[in-house]
Every structure is written in C-alpha cells, then in structure tokens.
Amino acid sequence: MSSMKQEHFEYVKSNKPDPAPHKGKLCHSDMITCSIIIAPDDPNLTNEQMKRKMKFATASRDGKVKIWNAHNLEHS
C-alpha cells in the first residue's frame, strides 16, 4: 500500500469524444486493466516535441495491447 501511494498518477483530458463501446475497431472489447506512458528517449526535445512523440500503451481483459499517440489519442 505504501508503494502505491508513492506512485504518480496524472489525469489526461482528451478533446476527442470516446468511440461507442464495442463498435469501433480501435476500442478494447473489455475493461482496460493497465496503461503506461512511453516517453521518447531524446533529451534534446522541447516540451512540445516531447508531447507529440509520447505514446500510451493500454492492455485489457480482452487480451489486447494497444499503442496510442498521446498527442491526439490515435491508435498506432
């Protein structure tokens, strides 16, 4: 429990509406159980470049892992 309190969590608001559940090929068909941020390794990037190159990985109970572009939440 103490290690969980030390972790950092951040809410990211999207301006794009969520697709309808189970209708889009980009959606997970079951609950997302894990998401992680994949940051670029280049230390010379500006903050804006870093945001554009950052990605999210999501995994769900349907057994799928998906990679998303963090800038516009498009599936990659």
Q: Is the pTM of this model over 0.75?
A: no
Does residue 48 sit in helix, strand or coil?
helix
Cβ neighbors of 16 (< 8 A, separation 6 or more) are: 72, 73
* Tokens 């509406």 belong to residue: 17
Q: Which pLDDT belongs to residue 39?
A: 87
Q: Which pLDDT belongs to residue 52?
A: 84
* pLDDT tens track for 19-76: 666 555 677 888 889 999 898 888 899 888 888 889 999 999 988 899 998 877 777 7
